Structure 1
Amino acid sequence: MSQSLPLRRPAASVGPAATRRPGVPELRQAPLDYTYDGSFEGLLTVLFTIYERKAAPNSIQAHGAMQGGLFAQPVAVATDETLSARVWKNLLRYLDKDARTRLFHVFLSEAPDRELLIFRYADLAMRTGRDISENYADDNVRRVQRLAQQMYREKHRMEAFVRFEKTQDGLFHATIEPDFDVLPLIAAHFTKRYADQRWLIYDRRRRYGLYYDLHQTDVVEFDSATPRHSSAVSATVLDEREPLFQVLWQAYFDHVNIPERKNLKLHRRHMPLRYWRYLSEKQPREQRFAAIRNKRPVQSPTTASLPSTTPDGNEKD
Protein backbone atom coordinates (compact mmCIF):
# COMPACT_ATOMS: atom_id res chain seq x y z
CA MET A 1 0.00 0.00 0.00
CA SER A 2 1.06 3.61 -0.39
CA GLN A 3 1.66 4.03 3.35
CA SER A 4 4.76 1.82 3.15
CA LEU A 5 6.38 4.13 0.62
CA PRO A 6 7.50 7.37 2.31
CA LEU A 7 6.66 10.51 0.39
CA ARG A 8 9.45 13.09 0.45
CA ARG A 9 10.02 16.25 -1.52
CA PRO A 10 12.93 16.36 -3.94
CA ALA A 11 16.10 17.96 -2.66
CA ALA A 12 16.25 20.27 -5.68
CA SER A 13 13.54 21.65 -7.90
CA VAL A 14 13.14 20.14 -11.33
CA GLY A 15 12.46 22.67 -14.04
CA PRO A 16 12.79 23.18 -17.77
CA ALA A 17 16.33 24.45 -17.35
CA ALA A 18 17.51 21.28 -15.63
CA THR A 19 20.18 19.33 -17.45
CA ARG A 20 19.92 15.66 -18.31
CA ARG A 21 20.67 13.61 -15.24
CA PRO A 22 23.30 10.90 -15.46
CA GLY A 23 22.94 7.32 -14.33
CA VAL A 24 20.09 6.13 -16.55
CA PRO A 25 21.43 3.03 -18.31
CA GLU A 26 20.63 2.29 -21.91
CA LEU A 27 18.37 -0.73 -22.34
CA ARG A 28 20.48 -2.52 -24.95
CA GLN A 29 19.51 -6.11 -24.19
CA ALA A 30 16.64 -7.93 -25.89
CA PRO A 31 13.21 -7.12 -24.39
CA LEU A 32 11.95 -9.53 -21.74
CA ASP A 33 8.64 -10.53 -20.21
CA TYR A 34 8.43 -9.76 -16.47
CA THR A 35 6.03 -11.11 -13.88
CA TYR A 36 5.44 -9.92 -10.31
CA ASP A 37 3.06 -10.49 -7.40
CA GLY A 38 0.60 -7.76 -8.42
CA SER A 39 1.52 -5.28 -5.66
CA PHE A 40 2.77 -1.75 -6.21
CA GLU A 41 5.96 -2.61 -4.30
CA GLY A 42 6.41 -5.55 -6.65
CA LEU A 43 6.06 -3.28 -9.69
CA LEU A 44 8.71 -0.92 -8.32
CA THR A 45 10.99 -3.92 -7.87
CA VAL A 46 10.38 -4.80 -11.53
CA LEU A 47 11.45 -1.28 -12.53
CA PHE A 48 14.71 -1.79 -10.65
CA THR A 49 15.24 -5.15 -12.34
CA ILE A 50 14.67 -3.66 -15.80
CA TYR A 51 17.57 -1.23 -15.44
CA GLU A 52 19.71 -3.77 -13.66
CA ARG A 53 19.34 -6.22 -16.57
CA LYS A 54 19.36 -3.38 -19.12
CA ALA A 55 16.43 -5.10 -20.85
CA ALA A 56 13.26 -3.20 -21.67
CA PRO A 57 9.97 -4.90 -20.84
CA ASN A 58 8.08 -6.61 -23.58
CA SER A 59 5.30 -7.10 -21.02
CA ILE A 60 4.80 -6.77 -17.26
CA GLN A 61 2.04 -8.94 -15.80
CA ALA A 62 1.02 -10.40 -12.48
CA HIS A 63 1.84 -14.00 -11.67
CA GLY A 64 -0.72 -16.35 -13.18
CA ALA A 65 -1.89 -13.82 -15.76
CA MET A 66 1.08 -14.17 -18.08
CA GLN A 67 0.13 -14.49 -21.74
CA GLY A 68 3.48 -14.56 -23.49
CA GLY A 69 4.69 -16.37 -26.58
CA LEU A 70 4.95 -20.12 -26.99
CA PHE A 71 8.67 -20.26 -26.22
CA ALA A 72 8.97 -17.13 -24.08
CA GLN A 73 10.29 -17.67 -20.57
CA PRO A 74 9.14 -14.80 -18.33
CA VAL A 75 11.39 -13.35 -15.66
CA ALA A 76 9.71 -13.77 -12.28
CA VAL A 77 10.63 -10.85 -10.02
CA ALA A 78 10.30 -11.34 -6.27
CA THR A 79 9.12 -8.28 -4.34
CA ASP A 80 11.88 -6.57 -2.37
CA GLU A 81 10.55 -3.80 -0.12
CA THR A 82 14.02 -2.30 0.32
CA LEU A 83 14.52 -1.96 -3.43
CA SER A 84 10.97 -0.71 -3.97
CA ALA A 85 11.43 2.02 -1.34
CA ARG A 86 14.72 2.96 -2.99
CA VAL A 87 13.07 3.27 -6.41
CA TRP A 88 10.14 5.23 -4.97
CA LYS A 89 12.52 7.69 -3.31
CA ASN A 90 14.79 8.07 -6.34
CA LEU A 91 11.85 8.90 -8.60
CA LEU A 92 11.83 12.32 -6.95
CA ARG A 93 15.09 13.04 -8.76
CA TYR A 94 13.08 13.18 -11.99
CA LEU A 95 9.46 13.79 -10.91
CA ASP A 96 7.85 16.16 -8.46
CA LYS A 97 5.71 14.80 -5.65
CA ASP A 98 2.39 15.21 -7.46
CA ALA A 99 3.63 13.53 -10.64
CA ARG A 100 4.99 10.61 -8.66
CA THR A 101 1.70 10.23 -6.80
CA ARG A 102 -0.12 10.10 -10.14
CA LEU A 103 1.87 6.98 -11.01
CA PHE A 104 0.46 5.29 -7.91
CA HIS A 105 -3.03 6.37 -8.92
CA VAL A 106 -2.48 4.87 -12.38
CA PHE A 107 -1.58 1.59 -10.71
CA LEU A 108 -4.81 1.65 -8.67
CA SER A 109 -6.82 2.36 -11.83
CA GLU A 110 -6.35 -1.30 -12.86
CA ALA A 111 -5.94 -0.33 -16.51
CA PRO A 112 -4.91 -3.43 -18.54
CA ASP A 113 -1.52 -1.96 -19.52
CA ARG A 114 -0.92 0.09 -16.37
CA GLU A 115 2.50 -1.48 -15.68
CA LEU A 116 3.91 -0.62 -19.10
CA LEU A 117 2.35 2.85 -18.91
CA ILE A 118 4.07 3.54 -15.58
CA PHE A 119 7.39 2.29 -16.95
CA ARG A 120 7.15 4.42 -20.09
CA TYR A 121 6.25 7.54 -18.14
CA ALA A 122 9.07 7.07 -15.61
CA ASP A 123 11.60 6.17 -18.33
CA LEU A 124 10.66 9.26 -20.35
CA ALA A 125 11.05 11.49 -17.29
CA MET A 126 14.44 10.01 -16.44
CA ARG A 127 15.80 10.34 -19.96
CA THR A 128 14.35 13.79 -20.50
CA GLY A 129 15.79 15.13 -17.27
CA ARG A 130 13.00 17.64 -16.67
CA ASP A 131 9.37 17.84 -15.65
CA ILE A 132 7.16 16.16 -18.27
CA SER A 133 3.79 16.46 -16.51
CA GLU A 134 2.64 19.13 -18.99
CA ASN A 135 4.08 17.49 -22.10
CA TYR A 136 0.66 16.64 -23.47
CA ALA A 137 2.09 15.98 -26.91
CA ASP A 138 3.17 12.60 -25.53
CA ASP A 139 0.47 9.96 -25.43
CA ASN A 140 1.78 8.41 -22.19
CA VAL A 141 1.62 11.75 -20.37
CA ARG A 142 -1.95 12.33 -21.56
CA ARG A 143 -3.07 8.88 -20.44
CA VAL A 144 -1.47 9.23 -17.01
CA GLN A 145 -3.18 12.59 -16.52
CA ARG A 146 -6.54 11.22 -17.69
CA LEU A 147 -6.41 8.17 -15.41
CA ALA A 148 -5.36 10.32 -12.47
CA GLN A 149 -8.38 12.58 -13.02
CA GLN A 150 -10.71 9.58 -13.20
CA MET A 151 -9.25 8.26 -9.95
CA TYR A 152 -9.80 11.63 -8.26
CA ARG A 153 -13.47 11.69 -9.33
CA GLU A 154 -14.02 8.14 -8.12
CA LYS A 155 -12.34 8.91 -4.80
CA HIS A 156 -14.55 11.97 -4.33
CA ARG A 157 -17.70 9.98 -5.12
CA MET A 158 -16.82 7.21 -2.69
CA GLU A 159 -16.26 9.73 0.08
CA ALA A 160 -19.75 11.13 -0.63
CA PHE A 161 -21.74 7.98 -1.40
CA VAL A 162 -20.68 5.56 1.35
CA ARG A 163 -23.67 4.62 3.54
CA PHE A 164 -23.06 2.75 6.79
CA GLU A 165 -25.30 0.23 8.54
CA LYS A 166 -24.94 -0.37 12.27
CA THR A 167 -24.64 -3.95 13.51
CA GLN A 168 -25.58 -5.31 16.93
CA ASP A 169 -22.00 -5.15 18.18
CA GLY A 170 -21.67 -1.47 17.30
CA LEU A 171 -19.74 -1.90 14.04
CA PHE A 172 -20.68 0.41 11.17
CA HIS A 173 -20.50 -1.54 7.92
CA ALA A 174 -20.58 -0.25 4.32
CA THR A 175 -20.31 -2.08 1.00
CA ILE A 176 -18.98 -0.40 -2.12
CA GLU A 177 -18.12 -1.53 -5.65
CA PRO A 178 -16.11 1.28 -7.26
CA ASP A 179 -14.77 1.21 -10.80
CA PHE A 180 -11.22 1.63 -9.51
CA ASP A 181 -9.34 0.45 -6.44
CA VAL A 182 -9.82 3.60 -4.35
CA LEU A 183 -9.76 2.13 -0.83
CA PRO A 184 -6.11 3.20 -0.28
CA LEU A 185 -7.09 6.74 -1.25
CA ILE A 186 -10.15 7.12 1.01
CA ALA A 187 -8.66 5.51 4.13
CA ALA A 188 -7.34 8.79 5.57
CA HIS A 189 -10.66 10.60 4.97
CA PHE A 190 -12.82 8.09 6.86
CA THR A 191 -10.23 7.54 9.60
CA LYS A 192 -10.31 11.25 10.38
CA ARG A 193 -14.04 11.76 9.91
CA TYR A 194 -15.25 8.73 11.90
CA ALA A 195 -12.50 8.49 14.51
CA ASP A 196 -14.96 7.84 17.35
CA GLN A 197 -16.60 4.67 16.01
CA ARG A 198 -15.61 1.27 14.67
CA TRP A 199 -16.26 0.84 10.96
CA LEU A 200 -15.62 -1.47 8.04
CA ILE A 201 -15.73 -0.50 4.36
CA TYR A 202 -15.80 -3.56 2.11
CA ASP A 203 -14.95 -3.51 -1.59
CA ARG A 204 -17.16 -6.25 -2.97
CA ARG A 205 -15.45 -6.40 -6.37
CA ARG A 206 -11.90 -6.74 -5.02
CA ARG A 207 -12.84 -8.73 -1.92
CA TYR A 208 -10.97 -6.75 0.69
CA GLY A 209 -11.78 -3.89 2.99
CA LEU A 210 -10.66 -1.28 5.49
CA TYR A 211 -11.30 -1.86 9.20
CA TYR A 212 -10.92 0.86 11.84
CA ASP A 213 -10.82 -0.28 15.49
CA LEU A 214 -10.72 3.17 17.16
CA HIS A 215 -6.91 3.13 17.03
CA GLN A 216 -5.76 2.42 13.49
CA THR A 217 -7.04 1.46 10.06
CA ASP A 218 -5.99 -1.94 8.70
CA VAL A 219 -6.49 -3.78 5.44
CA VAL A 220 -8.59 -6.93 5.88
CA GLU A 221 -9.21 -9.70 3.39
CA PHE A 222 -12.03 -12.23 3.20
CA ASP A 223 -12.10 -15.89 2.37
CA SER A 224 -12.26 -16.35 -1.40
CA ALA A 225 -14.69 -19.23 -0.90
CA THR A 226 -17.35 -16.85 0.41
CA PRO A 227 -20.22 -16.44 -2.07
CA ARG A 228 -20.20 -13.17 -4.02
CA HIS A 229 -23.84 -12.96 -5.05
CA SER A 230 -24.93 -11.18 -1.87
CA SER A 231 -23.55 -7.85 -0.69
CA ALA A 232 -26.09 -7.00 2.01
CA VAL A 233 -25.59 -7.59 5.71
CA SER A 234 -27.97 -10.16 7.17
CA ALA A 235 -30.85 -8.57 9.05
CA THR A 236 -30.09 -10.82 12.03
CA VAL A 237 -26.80 -9.02 12.72
CA LEU A 238 -28.06 -5.46 12.25
CA ASP A 239 -28.92 -3.20 15.14
CA GLU A 240 -32.66 -3.30 15.87
CA ARG A 241 -32.86 0.47 15.25
CA GLU A 242 -31.16 0.29 11.85
CA PRO A 243 -34.44 0.03 9.86
CA LEU A 244 -35.67 3.15 11.68
CA PHE A 245 -32.46 5.01 10.83
CA GLN A 246 -32.94 4.16 7.16
CA VAL A 247 -36.57 5.32 7.18
CA LEU A 248 -35.54 8.58 8.86
CA TRP A 249 -32.81 9.15 6.29
CA GLN A 250 -35.22 8.45 3.43
CA ALA A 251 -37.76 10.84 4.94
CA TYR A 252 -35.11 13.55 5.26
CA PHE A 253 -34.03 13.00 1.67
CA ASP A 254 -37.63 13.25 0.43
CA HIS A 255 -38.48 16.39 2.38
CA VAL A 256 -35.39 18.38 1.34
CA ASN A 257 -36.09 17.47 -2.28
CA ILE A 258 -37.86 20.07 -4.46
CA PRO A 259 -40.07 18.23 -6.99
CA GLU A 260 -40.52 21.35 -9.15
CA ARG A 261 -36.76 21.51 -9.74
CA LYS A 262 -36.33 17.85 -10.62
CA ASN A 263 -33.59 17.26 -13.22
CA LEU A 264 -33.02 13.53 -13.53
CA LYS A 265 -30.36 13.88 -16.23
CA LEU A 266 -28.22 16.15 -14.07
CA HIS A 267 -28.90 13.97 -11.04
CA ARG A 268 -27.62 10.85 -12.78
CA ARG A 269 -24.53 12.67 -13.98
CA HIS A 270 -23.53 13.60 -10.43
CA MET A 271 -24.81 10.34 -8.91
CA PRO A 272 -24.43 7.55 -11.52
CA LEU A 273 -26.87 4.64 -11.46
CA ARG A 274 -24.16 2.11 -10.57
CA TYR A 275 -23.95 3.58 -7.05
CA TRP A 276 -27.68 3.52 -6.30
CA ARG A 277 -27.79 -0.06 -5.06
CA TYR A 278 -25.78 0.95 -1.97
CA LEU A 279 -27.59 4.22 -1.17
CA SER A 280 -30.33 4.14 1.45
CA GLU A 281 -32.22 7.01 -0.17
CA LYS A 282 -32.48 5.06 -3.44
CA GLN A 283 -34.07 1.96 -1.95
CA PRO A 284 -37.84 1.23 -2.23
CA ARG A 285 -39.87 3.22 0.27
CA GLU A 286 -41.84 1.41 2.96
CA GLN A 287 -44.24 4.33 3.05
CA ARG A 288 -45.07 6.83 0.34
CA PHE A 289 -43.87 10.39 0.60
CA ALA A 290 -46.33 12.80 2.20
CA ALA A 291 -45.94 16.47 2.91
CA ILE A 292 -45.41 17.50 6.52
CA ARG A 293 -48.72 18.70 8.03
CA ASN A 294 -47.60 20.21 11.31
CA LYS A 295 -48.32 23.88 10.56
CA ARG A 296 -51.44 25.95 11.23
CA PRO A 297 -53.18 27.56 8.23
CA VAL A 298 -52.07 31.11 7.64
CA GLN A 299 -54.83 33.75 8.00
CA SER A 300 -54.76 36.99 6.07
CA PRO A 301 -54.62 40.21 8.15
CA THR A 302 -58.05 41.33 6.87
CA THR A 303 -59.75 38.11 7.88
CA ALA A 304 -58.06 38.05 11.25
CA SER A 305 -59.22 41.63 12.11
CA LEU A 306 -62.92 41.20 11.19
CA PRO A 307 -65.19 40.11 14.06
CA SER A 308 -67.35 37.06 13.51
CA THR A 309 -71.12 37.64 13.26
CA THR A 310 -74.33 35.63 13.58
CA PRO A 311 -76.75 35.10 10.65
CA ASP A 312 -78.92 38.00 11.86
CA GLY A 313 -75.99 40.40 11.69
CA ASN A 314 -75.20 40.61 15.40
CA GLU A 315 -71.65 40.11 16.63
CA LYS A 316 -70.83 36.96 18.50
CA ASP A 317 -69.88 37.19 22.13
Structure 2
Amino acid sequence: MNHYIYDGSFDGLLNAIYKAYYTPDKPDKILSYEKREDNFLVKEILIDTDAKKAKKVYEAIDKKISPAALRKIYYAYLSEIDGIEMDILNFVRLGFKIGTDIELNLANEAVFKIESIYNKVSHERHRMTGLIRFKELKNNILYAEISPDYNLVGIIAPHFIKRLSNENFIIHDKKRNISVFYNKKEWIVREIKGDLNIIFNEKEEDYQNLWKMYFKSISIKEKFNPKLQRSNMPKKYWKYLIEKGG
Protein backbone atom coordinates (compact mmCIF):
# COMPACT_ATOMS: atom_id res chain seq x y z
CA MET A 1 0.00 0.00 0.00
CA ASN A 2 1.17 3.50 -0.81
CA HIS A 3 0.45 6.40 1.51
CA TYR A 4 1.16 9.92 0.29
CA ILE A 5 2.19 12.11 3.21
CA TYR A 6 1.77 15.87 2.71
CA ASP A 7 2.13 18.94 4.92
CA GLY A 8 -1.60 19.47 5.45
CA SER A 9 -1.83 22.62 3.33
CA PHE A 10 -4.04 23.02 0.26
CA ASP A 11 -0.92 23.56 -1.88
CA GLY A 12 0.47 20.35 -0.41
CA LEU A 13 -2.69 18.48 -1.39
CA LEU A 14 -2.48 19.85 -4.95
CA ASN A 15 1.10 18.57 -5.07
CA ALA A 16 -0.14 15.13 -4.00
CA ILE A 17 -2.62 15.22 -6.90
CA TYR A 18 0.21 16.22 -9.24
CA LYS A 19 2.31 13.32 -7.93
CA ALA A 20 -0.57 10.86 -8.50
CA TYR A 21 -0.61 11.81 -12.18
CA TYR A 22 3.10 11.65 -12.84
CA THR A 23 4.29 8.58 -10.96
CA PRO A 24 3.51 4.84 -11.17
CA ASP A 25 3.19 4.75 -7.36
CA LYS A 26 -0.49 5.61 -7.10
CA PRO A 27 -1.78 6.42 -3.59
CA ASP A 28 -4.10 4.22 -1.57
CA LYS A 29 -4.35 7.04 0.96
CA ILE A 30 -3.32 10.68 1.14
CA LEU A 31 -2.61 11.80 4.70
CA SER A 32 -1.27 14.91 6.38
CA TYR A 33 1.77 14.54 8.63
CA GLU A 34 -0.52 14.81 11.65
CA LYS A 35 -2.67 11.86 10.53
CA ARG A 36 0.05 9.53 9.26
CA GLU A 37 -0.28 5.90 10.35
CA ASP A 38 2.43 3.60 11.71
CA ASN A 39 2.20 0.44 9.63
CA PHE A 40 5.16 -1.61 8.42
CA LEU A 41 3.09 -2.85 5.46
CA VAL A 42 2.73 0.71 4.15
CA LYS A 43 5.11 2.51 1.83
CA GLU A 44 5.16 6.19 2.77
CA ILE A 45 5.81 8.64 -0.05
CA LEU A 46 6.60 12.13 1.23
CA ILE A 47 5.17 14.92 -0.88
CA ASP A 48 7.19 18.13 -1.21
CA THR A 49 5.14 21.31 -1.47
CA ASP A 50 6.12 23.09 -4.66
CA ALA A 51 4.23 26.33 -5.41
CA LYS A 52 4.68 25.94 -9.20
CA LYS A 53 3.24 22.43 -9.27
CA ALA A 54 0.35 23.51 -7.02
CA LYS A 55 -0.39 26.38 -9.41
CA LYS A 56 -0.43 24.02 -12.40
CA VAL A 57 -2.99 21.73 -10.75
CA TYR A 58 -5.03 24.71 -9.51
CA GLU A 59 -5.21 26.23 -12.99
CA ALA A 60 -5.92 22.86 -14.63
CA ILE A 61 -8.92 22.26 -12.36
CA ASP A 62 -10.16 25.80 -12.97
CA LYS A 63 -9.91 25.53 -16.78
CA LYS A 64 -10.52 21.84 -17.53
CA ILE A 65 -13.33 21.32 -15.03
CA SER A 66 -14.71 24.64 -13.73
CA PRO A 67 -14.17 27.43 -11.18
CA ALA A 68 -17.16 26.04 -9.27
CA ALA A 69 -15.48 22.63 -9.02
CA LEU A 70 -12.31 24.28 -7.72
CA ARG A 71 -14.33 26.05 -5.04
CA LYS A 72 -16.03 22.80 -4.01
CA ILE A 73 -12.70 21.01 -3.79
CA TYR A 74 -11.31 23.76 -1.56
CA TYR A 75 -14.35 23.70 0.73
CA ALA A 76 -14.11 19.90 0.95
CA TYR A 77 -10.46 20.26 1.95
CA LEU A 78 -11.47 22.75 4.68
CA SER A 79 -13.88 20.18 6.11
CA GLU A 80 -10.87 18.23 7.49
CA ILE A 81 -12.90 15.02 7.25
CA ASP A 82 -10.81 11.85 7.40
CA GLY A 83 -10.18 10.44 3.94
CA ILE A 84 -11.39 13.54 2.10
CA GLU A 85 -8.10 13.79 0.18
CA MET A 86 -8.77 10.59 -1.78
CA ASP A 87 -12.31 11.75 -2.50
CA ILE A 88 -10.87 14.98 -3.88
CA LEU A 89 -8.35 13.05 -6.01
CA ASN A 90 -11.09 10.80 -7.42
CA PHE A 91 -13.27 13.86 -8.08
CA VAL A 92 -10.41 15.55 -9.97
CA ARG A 93 -9.66 12.40 -11.99
CA LEU A 94 -13.27 12.19 -13.14
CA GLY A 95 -13.43 15.94 -13.74
CA PHE A 96 -10.42 15.85 -16.06
CA LYS A 97 -12.22 13.15 -18.08
CA ILE A 98 -15.68 14.67 -18.41
CA GLY A 99 -15.16 18.38 -17.65
CA THR A 100 -18.07 20.53 -16.44
CA ASP A 101 -20.47 17.58 -16.77
CA ILE A 102 -19.10 16.35 -13.45
CA GLU A 103 -21.69 18.60 -11.74
CA LEU A 104 -24.42 16.31 -13.11
CA ASN A 105 -22.75 13.05 -12.13
CA LEU A 106 -24.09 12.74 -8.57
CA ALA A 107 -24.35 8.97 -8.96
CA ASN A 108 -20.56 8.89 -8.64
CA GLU A 109 -19.59 8.38 -4.99
CA ALA A 110 -16.78 10.96 -4.97
CA VAL A 111 -18.91 13.59 -6.73
CA PHE A 112 -21.81 13.06 -4.36
CA LYS A 113 -19.53 13.25 -1.33
CA ILE A 114 -17.76 16.42 -2.45
CA GLU A 115 -21.11 18.06 -3.25
CA SER A 116 -22.56 17.03 0.11
CA ILE A 117 -19.57 18.25 2.11
CA TYR A 118 -19.40 21.49 0.13
CA ASN A 119 -23.01 22.20 1.08
CA LYS A 120 -22.31 21.54 4.78
CA VAL A 121 -19.24 23.78 4.84
CA SER A 122 -21.08 26.51 2.91
CA HIS A 123 -23.99 26.29 5.33
CA GLU A 124 -21.78 26.70 8.38
CA ARG A 125 -19.87 29.54 6.72
CA HIS A 126 -23.15 31.37 6.09
CA ARG A 127 -24.34 30.68 9.62
CA MET A 128 -21.10 31.90 11.20
CA THR A 129 -21.25 35.26 9.42
CA GLY A 130 -24.40 35.94 11.41
CA LEU A 131 -23.26 34.46 14.72
CA ILE A 132 -19.82 35.98 15.20
CA ARG A 133 -19.75 38.57 17.99
CA PHE A 134 -16.86 41.02 18.27
CA LYS A 135 -15.60 42.51 21.53
CA GLU A 136 -13.42 45.58 21.75
CA LEU A 137 -9.92 45.22 23.14
CA LYS A 138 -8.02 47.91 25.05
CA ASN A 139 -6.01 48.82 21.93
CA ASN A 140 -9.27 49.33 19.94
CA ILE A 141 -8.89 46.04 18.04
CA LEU A 142 -12.10 44.07 17.57
CA TYR A 143 -11.78 40.47 18.70
CA ALA A 144 -14.03 37.44 18.17
CA GLU A 145 -13.74 33.81 19.26
CA ILE A 146 -15.15 30.88 17.30
CA SER A 147 -14.93 27.07 17.35
CA PRO A 148 -16.60 25.94 14.11
CA ASP A 149 -16.93 22.34 12.95
CA TYR A 150 -14.93 23.19 9.82
CA ASN A 151 -11.83 25.30 9.15
CA LEU A 152 -13.63 28.48 8.16
CA VAL A 153 -11.56 31.50 9.22
CA GLY A 154 -10.06 32.01 5.76
CA ILE A 155 -13.41 31.97 3.96
CA ILE A 156 -15.36 34.13 6.41
CA ALA A 157 -12.69 36.85 6.59
CA PRO A 158 -13.69 38.56 3.28
CA HIS A 159 -17.25 39.02 4.58
CA PHE A 160 -16.07 40.93 7.65
CA ILE A 161 -13.42 42.87 5.74
CA LYS A 162 -16.23 44.33 3.63
CA ARG A 163 -18.32 45.16 6.69
CA LEU A 164 -15.47 46.34 8.93
CA SER A 165 -13.01 47.72 6.39
CA ASN A 166 -12.07 50.64 8.65
CA GLU A 167 -11.43 48.50 11.73
CA ASN A 168 -8.59 46.33 12.94
CA PHE A 169 -9.90 42.91 13.91
CA ILE A 170 -8.97 39.37 14.91
CA ILE A 171 -11.13 36.28 14.42
CA HIS A 172 -9.69 33.53 16.60
CA ASP A 173 -10.53 29.88 15.91
CA LYS A 174 -9.83 28.44 19.36
CA LYS A 175 -10.49 24.88 18.21
CA ARG A 176 -7.57 24.99 15.72
CA ASN A 177 -5.41 27.68 17.34
CA ILE A 178 -5.44 29.84 14.22
CA SER A 179 -6.58 33.43 13.67
CA VAL A 180 -7.36 35.92 10.94
CA PHE A 181 -5.61 39.23 11.50
CA TYR A 182 -6.81 42.32 9.58
CA ASN A 183 -5.16 45.75 9.80
CA LYS A 184 -7.40 47.90 7.54
CA LYS A 185 -5.19 47.10 4.54
CA GLU A 186 -4.46 43.38 4.38
CA TRP A 187 -5.29 40.16 6.16
CA ILE A 188 -3.47 36.98 7.02
CA VAL A 189 -4.26 33.64 8.66
CA ARG A 190 -1.72 32.58 11.25
CA GLU A 191 -1.24 29.80 13.76
CA ILE A 192 -1.48 30.94 17.38
CA LYS A 193 1.21 29.59 19.69
CA GLY A 194 0.34 30.17 23.32
CA ASP A 195 -2.33 32.53 24.59
CA LEU A 196 -3.16 35.86 22.97
CA ASN A 197 -2.70 38.78 25.34
CA ILE A 198 -6.37 39.71 25.47
CA ILE A 199 -7.20 42.83 27.49
CA PHE A 200 -10.70 44.16 26.91
CA ASN A 201 -11.63 47.81 26.67
CA GLU A 202 -12.90 49.20 29.99
CA LYS A 203 -16.29 49.97 28.41
CA GLU A 204 -16.66 46.52 26.82
CA GLU A 205 -18.52 45.05 29.80
CA ASP A 206 -21.01 47.94 29.65
CA TYR A 207 -21.55 47.33 25.92
CA GLN A 208 -22.15 43.64 26.55
CA ASN A 209 -24.63 44.33 29.33
CA LEU A 210 -26.52 46.76 27.10
CA TRP A 211 -26.64 44.16 24.32
CA LYS A 212 -27.97 41.50 26.73
CA MET A 213 -30.61 43.92 27.98
CA TYR A 214 -31.63 44.74 24.41
CA PHE A 215 -31.84 41.06 23.46
CA LYS A 216 -33.99 40.38 26.53
CA SER A 217 -36.22 43.40 25.88
CA ILE A 218 -37.13 42.37 22.34
CA SER A 219 -37.95 38.80 23.36
CA ILE A 220 -41.68 38.11 23.40
CA LYS A 221 -42.45 35.58 26.12
CA GLU A 222 -45.63 34.32 24.42
CA LYS A 223 -43.70 33.59 21.21
CA PHE A 224 -40.67 31.96 22.85
CA ASN A 225 -39.86 28.82 20.86
CA PRO A 226 -36.71 27.02 22.13
CA LYS A 227 -36.85 24.38 19.39
CA LEU A 228 -36.93 26.99 16.61
CA GLN A 229 -34.22 29.01 18.35
CA ARG A 230 -31.92 25.99 18.52
CA SER A 231 -32.60 25.31 14.85
CA ASN A 232 -31.62 28.84 13.81
CA MET A 233 -28.89 29.20 16.42
CA PRO A 234 -27.59 25.74 17.46
CA LYS A 235 -26.59 25.45 21.10
CA LYS A 236 -23.00 24.52 20.20
CA TYR A 237 -22.49 28.16 19.10
CA TRP A 238 -23.93 29.78 22.25
CA LYS A 239 -20.60 29.81 24.09
CA TYR A 240 -19.42 32.88 22.19
CA LEU A 241 -22.76 34.70 21.86
CA ILE A 242 -22.94 37.77 24.09
CA GLU A 243 -26.75 37.69 24.27
CA LYS A 244 -26.63 34.08 25.51
CA GLY A 245 -24.17 34.92 28.24
CA GLY A 246 -20.95 34.23 26.26
Q: Which bin holds the TM-score, normalised by the shorter protein?
A: over 0.9
Match of 1:63 in 2: 33
Distance 1:171 1:92, change over 3 A: closer
Distance 1:64 1:160, change over 3 A: closer
Match of 1:170 in 2: 140
Q: Would you say 1:252 and 2:214 are equivalent positions?
A: yes
Q: Would you say 1:95 and 2:65 are equivalent positions?
A: yes
Match of 1:41 in 2: 11
In structure 2, give the amino acid aligned to 1:278.
Y
Q: CA deviation at 1:218?
A: 1.4
Task: Give distance in 1, aligned partners of 2:63 and 2:191.
Answer: 35
Measured against aligned partners, the alpha-carbon deviations of 1:269-308 in whole angstroms (never above 9, x if no partner) come to 1100011010000018xxxxxxxxxxxxxxxxxxxxxxxx
- What SS does the corresponding residue of 1:132 show, helix, strand or coil? helix
In structure 1, give the amino acid aligned to 2:223.
R
Task: Give distance in 2, aligned partners of 1:276 and 1:212.
Answer: 25
Match of 1:267 in 2: 229
1:152-301 matches, within 5 Å, as: 152-223=122-193, 226=194, 237-283=199-245
Task: Give distance in 1, aligned partners of 2:63 and 2:94.
Answer: 13
Q: Would you say 1:121 and 2:91 are equivalent positions?
A: yes
Mean Cα deviation higher: 109-118 or 56-65: 56-65
- What SS does the corresponding residue of 1:56 show, helix, strand or coil? coil
Task: Give distance in 2, aligned partners of 1:105 and 1:64.
Answer: 20
Distance 1:121 1:239, change over 3 A: same
Distance 1:162 1:64, change over 3 A: closer
Higher normalized helix content (fraction of residues):
2
Q: Normalization by structure 2: what TM-score?
A: 0.95
Task: Give distance in 2, aligned partners of 1:169 and 1:125.
Answer: 49
Match of 1:308 in 2: none
How many residues align? The count is: 246
Match of 1:131 in 2: 101
Question: CA RMSD for the aligned pairs?
Answer: 1.7
Q: CA deviation at 1:94?
A: 3.0
Task: Give distance in 1, aligned partners of 2:127 and 2:139.
Answer: 28
In structure 2, give the amino acid aligned to 1:253.
F
Task: Give distance in 2, aligned partners of 1:200 and 1:64.
Answer: 26
Percentage of identical aligned residues: 29
Q: CA deviation at 1:220?
A: 2.5
Task: Give distance in 1, aligned partners of 2:145 and 2:205.
Answer: 17
Task: Give distance in 2, aligned partners of 1:122 and 1:212.
Answer: 33
Native 8 Å contact 1:96 1:131 kept in 2: no
Native 8 Å contact 1:175 1:203 kept in 2: yes
Structure 2: which 5+ residue stretches go unaligned?
A: none
Native 8 Å contact 2:61 2:69 kept in 1: no
- What SS does the corresponding residue of 2:170 show, helix, strand or coil? strand
- What SS does the corresponding residue of 1:131 show, helix, strand or coil? helix
Q: Normalization by structure 1: what TM-score?
A: 0.74
Match of 1:4 in 2: none
Task: Give distance in 2, aligned partners of 1:211 and 1:93.
Answer: 32
Q: CA deviation at 1:70?
A: 1.3
Task: Give distance in 2, aligned partners of 1:125 and 1:68.
Answer: 32
Task: Give distance in 2, aligned partners of 1:150 and 1:249.
Answer: 30
Structure 1: which 5+ residue stretches go unaligned?
A: 1-30, 285-317
Larger Rg: 1
